[in-house]
């Protein structure tokens, strides 16, 4: 188990970033920093043709960002004017000139769902569950979620995911477009491995320009990310939100038992 929760492996042009932060792959500050470094290096390394994100935990891709760390975030001294660090991390997966694939065989929530949504493709299994639980904790998805989801699933469904803070099952996630497709859990790794190596074998300049052309169909996300970041900073400084996040931790949040029933748990807070 790596100290920062991230394993990096190369195989014939495919760089695999594996989350390994027991018990539930909570996103710590250390994991965020390690992932930023790994993504930056992958983006700049010409030998890397495809980046795959996966987990060593059979039940969790990434649970969410560490709520205890959010409680320690300082109050802003002035309004945000540009995307913050987690925005930039997600932006690396979105814009690097090579395909990024999230392989999600289990639960993903909060900041983990935002990282996955920033990848070019997301493949899940019958075991996949998605949740953006932040509003139920008194805050909001502050790491690109409010901006990515409408593009993936449409405005009304994004509202349901963000405001509802409920678990979204695998069938619904694929019907709505959050997942590209469902692959049986036993076959998921083989499927993603084959696709990643297929893409790694294509001319990298053509892949990079094709990806950039597809992204050019979308509006510049920066203004929306700045607004999201401002609202997030305001909410995490609210005493009522702090009380609710502390209650989340005190009542069993960030334990496997409660995280596996996140939708119900959030409603009970």
Positive or negative, the CA dihedral 151, 159, 176, 131 is: positive
pLDDT, tens only, 86-122: 999 999 999 999 999 999 999 999 999 999 999 999 9
Per-residue tokens: 48: 């890397």
10 Å CB burial of residue 190 (0-12, 13-18, 19+) is: exposed
pLDDT of 138-175, one tens digit each? 999 999 999 999 999 999 999 999 999 999 999 999 99
- Residue 1, pLDDT > 90, answer no
User: CATH number of the domain at 6-201+217-268, please?
Assistant: 3.90.226.10
Q: State the Cα–Cα distance between residues 230 and 116, nearest whole angstrom.
A: 22
Those residues whose C-beta lies under 8 Å from the C-beta of residue 177, and which sit 6 or more positions away, are 152, 153, 154
């Amino acid at each position: 188990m790596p100290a920062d929760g991230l394993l990096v492996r190369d195989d014939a042009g495919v760089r695999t970033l594996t989350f390994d932060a027991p018990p539930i792959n909570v996103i710590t500050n250390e994991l965020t920093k390690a992932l930023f470094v790994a993504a930056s290096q992958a983006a700049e390394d010409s030998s890397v043709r495809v980046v795959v994100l996966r987990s060593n935990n059979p039940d969790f891709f990434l649970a969410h960002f560490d709520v205890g760390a959010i409680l320690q975030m300082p109050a802003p001294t002035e309004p945000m004017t540009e995307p913050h660090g987690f925005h930039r991390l997600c932006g690396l997966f979105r814009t690097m000139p090579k395909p990024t694939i999230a392989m999600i065989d289990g639960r993903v929530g909060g900041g983990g769902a935002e990282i996955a949504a920033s990848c070019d493709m997301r493949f899940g299994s019958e075991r996949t569950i998605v949740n953006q639980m932040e509003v139920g904790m008194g805050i909001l998805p502050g790491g690109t979620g409010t901006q990515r989801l409408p593009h993936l699933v449409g405005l009304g469904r994004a509202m349901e995911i963000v405001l509802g803070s409920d678990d979204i099952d695998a069938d619904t996630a694929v019907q709505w477009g959050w997942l590209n497709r469902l692959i049986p859990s036993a076959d998921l790794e083989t499927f993603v491995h084959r696709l990643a190596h297929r893409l790694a074998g294509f001319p990298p300049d053509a892949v990079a320009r094709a990806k950039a052309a597809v992204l050019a169909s979308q509006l510049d996300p920066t203004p929306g990310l700045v607004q999201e970041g401002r609202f997030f900073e305001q909410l995490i400084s609210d005493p009522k939100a702090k009380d609710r996040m502390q209650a989340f931790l005190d009542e069993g949040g960030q334990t496997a038992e409660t995280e596996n029933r996140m939708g119900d748990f959030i409603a009970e807070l």
